[in-house]
Structure 1
Amino acid sequence: MKRGLPVLVMALALAACASTPPLAGSGPGRTTAGDAAAMDSQRDIILAVANPLQPPPIHAGSSVLGYAPSRYYGAGQQAASTLAALRQRYAFSELAGWPIKALKLYCIVLQPPPGTSRDSLLQALAADRRVQLAQPLHDFAVYAQSAAGGHAYNDPYVGLQRGFIETEAARAHRYSEGRGVRVAVVDTGVDLAHPDLEGRIHDAHNLVDDDAAAFDRDSHGTEVAGVIAAVGDNHLGIVGIAPQAELSVYKACWYPPAPNAGARCNSFTLAKALAAIIDTDDRIINLSLGGPADPLLDLLLVQILQQGRIVVAAIPPEGNLAGFPDSTPGVLLVRMSGPSTAPPGVLSAPGNDILTTQPEGGYDFTSGPSMAAPHVSGMAALLLSLAPRLDVRAIRDLLLRSSRLSGGVLQVNAAAAVTELRGTPQAAR
């Protein structure tokens, strides 16, 4: 929840966005505007077939590279033939399709034919040897909540940044500001022209629709981005936990038209985001969202973790760790700090009344586990900037070990973590 302050009513001029990279779509095979939001998680299915993309023997009428006709962008002939046969056998309607090169799969979102239940079609597809994966299309949600001795920064609102102060980030910045580390924000869109994010956004991708204006108006992703990497010492607003880190923005979530509705995502948009990250230099992935267990998303997350990337995920307010992404081993789990004891291995970070960036160049307070996760993503960037070879276990153990009491609550402490790391041989690597 957000609550405005009179001091924040003052308008701030928007920074020029000439240096901001243009939004990138998901390629020629992307869905048209609004398709992702129009999908029905109570009806639709995600289906995956093998897509090896191996060049076949050249003969008359063949594709030299083994690609199928344009109906299936990025699909090889084997995948296209399999999908055509499955469509004829089960009479489903295809809503969207996309390749996942890292898993050698081609996925489609399909709608069962009239008179066929989703459960019965899933059962039939699961028994079909041509099918690599068949699962329900799941819905996910961001974890926002409604509500009520270091460097002396010149940013006017830094004294109101509860999380920044409690984690002693300014002291940590004497030694690291996250330079050279890129953080992927998988979320809603972000205000790319926000003056406190100027120069911090490396690239941006809209995996939901083609609405650039809505991308810039999205609040949740803008809030997360500000907590991680808002610019310091620019005489504006706030300071991020890692103000020299770079951000890659992947819009996989959107706001439904209902008043005050929270942002939503689904298996389709999240899978496209995770698949895109596999081919990048993004070192940290922030997931301030969650939902049910999802086999396809789990496969992609495992691939990302095997690449040595750090995945930071907010756990839901009720603490259920059985869904995506919290149930995947190796994910760095974060809860909003509170009086109760955190589950074993789960980090506690500030998440209540967090002052951060808002669309249209603004600032406001917001609360929820969604704000706790980016504090940890920012701290991971501080640590990786000093010691690039740190793995997720080392980062988790260091942040747990260096947690400190603040206001009677045990939570992560950027200054303590950076200070401890600087005293180890790893910091010199």
Structure 2
Amino acid sequence: MPRHGRRTFLKVSGGVLGGLLAGSTVTAAERTDRYVVKTKGKKTPTDLEVVHDLSEIGYAVVRASESDVKRSKAVKSFAPDVELDVSDPTVRTRAYEGDAEDDDLYPYQWDKQALDVPTAHETTKGEGTRVAIIDSGVDASHPDLVVNEELSRDFTGDGLGAGVPGGGDHGTHVAGIAAAQTAGTTGVAGTAPATDLVDYRVFSEFGGTNGSFATIVAAVLRAVEDGCDVANLSLGAYPIPRQGLGSFYGGVLNKAMTYANKEGTLLVVAAGNDSADLQHDKNLISLPNEGAQALSVAATGPIGFADALVAGEELESPPESPAFYTNYGTNAVDLGAPGGDADTSLTDPVGGVPAYAYDLVFNTVTTVLTDDDGNYAGSVPGYGWKAGTSMAAPNVAGAAALVKSANPEYDANQVESALRRAAAVPDGYDKTYYGAGFLNVVDAL
């Protein structure tokens, strides 16, 4: 474990202590002007306004009244599109002082240390692969991120375009975990820094469609069309009944996810932050991580990293221990990976930041700016901490890119199989939190 003095901590800059995503409240609002329709014979409706053509899987998203949808002869069945509103709990926020460009921030990345990412990079850094981030938007102006803006796409319709954090900084943090650059001596490291990073934004805080079920499905299919080897989905909703509309939405997702897998795009999905036993929750389902062909990822994290880093003390819990908030379940989780844990009683400041923050995942963030009217006015890139299965998933997505890079002939199932074979359940821990086990990037290669 590296040891660094207080002066090193005081020089960390530019970031914001991000929200701890565990315990988020998710509510769903049905749209009355947009519907997901199952078409007859996989034909796109010509008598309705088509927002997203999903003919690859026999569906479409249309903008119309319910009566018009019912009258359409091209529609077999339908359900209203659903927008998700995610309200994170209130947590302490703090900016850093100093200049990040003067420091190598890798010492704060316990997740990359636990995965021994530098050794994996001796084999590959993800060259020749492509990873999609289906999220709140990736800040392409961040100096530690290289985004393929030509392929990137905004699915929200808010007019801001892609490559901007129009739905908040969550997607920027996720993207950095998967693919932050390692050139030079500044900033942080991503698991697959040489992959081609594509931003598919499905959340908007500026008047666009926000977290729509239909746009998420459309983004998955676009990732397939654009030749993405991996698509990361650090999003979801729980609990959803398996019956009724839940069955309809599940059917759409299953078709989209099965199609993606068949075409070679591995879908890596966060397992969720509800502390829920997904194996024994009866008639409820968590989507999309319990959808067909999803590689569902639970979160792990240490307790006491700040004291270990500063004073060389032993960790209270190791990086592979299950996070307190993570969902779990023997057949509902495929892998465990670093997503961050926290004992919020550890509030004593270390370098001006509460000690518990160091047990979260440190990577790229950005501050979204607005004008006096609340309109988007740019962003200020930085570095900061967040925790959640949202952070665990991109560690796996980056690892999948490394496996694909080292084995370009592998299909999606073979990439997942390599990750699962290399993983192992840590001694003394319950398999229900890990599926095949804790992520082992080096052995997967």
What is the TM-score of this pair, normalised by structure 1?
Answer: 0.67
Query: Could you tell me which of 248, 261, 270 is aligned with 1:305?
Result: 261
- Distance, in Å, in 1 between the alignment partners of 2:127 and 2:137 is 23
- Counterpart of 2:330? 343
Q: Distance in 2 between matches of 1:190 and 1:231?
A: 14
How far apart, CA to CA, are the structure 1 residues paired with 2:150 and 2:118?
Answer: 24
**Relative to 1, partners in 2 of residues 1:362 and 1:272: Cα closer, same or farther, differing over 3 Å?**
same
User: Distance between the aligned counterparts of 2:110 and 2:148, measured in 1?
Assistant: 22
Q: d(CA) in 2 for partners of 1:397 and 1:129?
A: 43
How has the CA–CA distance of structure 1 residues 417 and 142 changed in structure 2, closer, same or farther, with 3 Å as cutoff?
farther
Summarize deviations over 1:283-307 as a string: whole Å, max 9, x none: 1111111124513333222221121
Q: SS of the residue aligned with 2:278?
A: coil
The AA in structure 1 aligned to 2:56 is: A
- C-alpha separation in 2, matches of 1:193 and 1:251: 15
Q: Do the aligned residues in 2 keep the contact of 1:141 with 1:264 (CA within 8 Å)?
A: yes
Identity %: 24
1:384-403 equivalences under 5 Å are: 384-403=404-423
Cα distance in 2 for partners of 1:188, 1:388 equals 29
Match of 2:81 in 1: 137
Matches within 5 A, 1:42-191: 43=32, 45-50=35-40, 79-81=45-47, 83=48, 97-103=51-57, 105-112=59-66, 130-140=74-84, 156-191=104-139
Measured in 2, the distance between the counterparts of 1:230 and 1:201 equals 16
Hey, what's the Cα distance between the residues in 2 that align with 1:197 and 1:240? 9
Structure 1 residue 145: Cα displacement: 7.7
* Residue 210 (1) aligns with residue 159 (2): yes
The one-letter code of the counterpart of 2:288 is P
1:277-334: per-residue Cα shift (whole Å, max 9, x none)?
2321111111111124513333222221121221111111225372322232222111
Match of 1:332 in 2: 295
**Cα distance, 1:389 vs. partner?**
2.6
- Determine the C-alpha separation between the residues in 2 that align with 1:221 and 1:10: 17
Where 2:30 maps in the other structure, the secondary structure is coil
1:393, distance to aligned residue in structure 2 (A): 3.8
- 8 Å CA contact retained: 1:314, 1:372: yes
By how many angstroms is 1:210 displaced? 0.9
- TM-score (structure 2 length as normaliser): 0.65
Paired residues of 2:268 and 2:296 also in contact (CA < 8 A): yes
**Cα distance, 1:104 vs. partner?**
5.5
In the alignment, is residue 41 of structure 1 matched against residue 51 of structure 2?
A: no
Over alpha carbons, which structure has the higher Rg? Answer: 1
Do the aligned residues in 1 keep the contact of 2:232 with 2:394 (CA within 8 Å)? yes
- Structure 1, unmatched stretches of 5+, are 12-38, 54-74, 84-93, 114-120, 149-153, 258-262, 419-429
CA distance in 2, matches of 1:40, 1:205: 24
Matches of residues 254-403 of structure 1 in structure 2 within 5 Å?
254-255=204-205, 264-291=210-237, 292=240, 293=246, 294=249, 295-317=251-273, 318-320=276-278, 322-337=285-300, 338-339=321-322, 343-344=330-331, 346-352=334-340, 353-359=360-366, 360-403=380-423
CA distance in 1, matches of 2:427, 2:205: 35
Q: Secondary structure at the match of 1:282?
A: coil
Alignment equivalent of 1:234, drawn from 161, 184, 187: 184
Determine the structure 1 residue equivalent to 2:173.
223
Structure 1 residue 251 displacement after superposition: 0.5
Displacement, 1:358?
Answer: 0.9
Native 8 Å contact 1:41 1:136 kept in 2: yes
1:161-192 Cα deviation digits (max 9, x unpaired): 12111111111111111100000111111111
Q: Which runs of 5+ in 2 are unaligned?
A: 1-8, 16-27, 93-101, 241-245, 280-284, 301-320, 341-359, 367-379, 430-436
CA contact 2:30–2:81 (8 Å) conserved in 1: yes
Cα RMSD of the aligned pairs, angstroms, is: 3.5
Alignment partner of 1:265: what SS?
A: coil
User: Number of residue pairs matched?
Assistant: 331
